[in-house]
Structure 1
């Protein structure tokens, strides 16, 4: 069983990346067109999957989402100044 474990891990990683490439918005994929990433993940299972995860996967910036402002409270009850004014 131990000698088949790397094969199973690579197969699961490839399946995960194929599904993720298919669901990624075409305008947000980085460094190459989405169809090229799909071909790379399928034809080069380990290298293509790792390339997708580290180089091609959409980020919040590539999707056009604004960055998170971590300095501001998310709700009024998290804001110390607001609670002092009550």
Structure 2
């Protein structure tokens, strides 16, 4: 059972790398053209997959804090405050207290 699981994981990683090579932009690969990386991953199986993940895959841009995918040039900036619920509104709470006491 363990060998079957390891085999499935191996094939899954290999398929992921093949799909990743195919969906990467032509100019995004490192060291070799896209077709070269495709052949290496296809024929090299796990060694080719490891090479793709370690050497050929494009790097993820990092933001100022070091987190992946920092602010994009199209980001609108800070998000607006979310809408407040009625229980956060002091006027609503005063009116509710009046209604409970029967002042209205």
Structure 2 residue runs of 5 or longer lacking an equivalent are 66-76, 81-104
Taking the TM superposition and a 5 Å limit, the aligned residue runs for 1:14-25 are: 14-25=14-25
Question: Among 59, 63, 70, which residue is 1:68 paired with?
Answer: 63
Residue 76 (structure 1) shift: 7.7
Aligned length: 69
Divergent runs of 4+, >6 A: none
Residue 60 (structure 1) shift: 4.0
Structure 1 residue runs of 5 or longer lacking an equivalent are 62-66, 78-86
**Cα root mean square deviation, aligned:** 1.9
TM-score normalised per structure 2: 0.58
TM-score normalised per structure 1: 0.69
Larger Rg: 2
2:17 & 2:51 partners in 1: Cα distance?
A: 10
1:59 lines up with 2:59 in the alignment:
yes
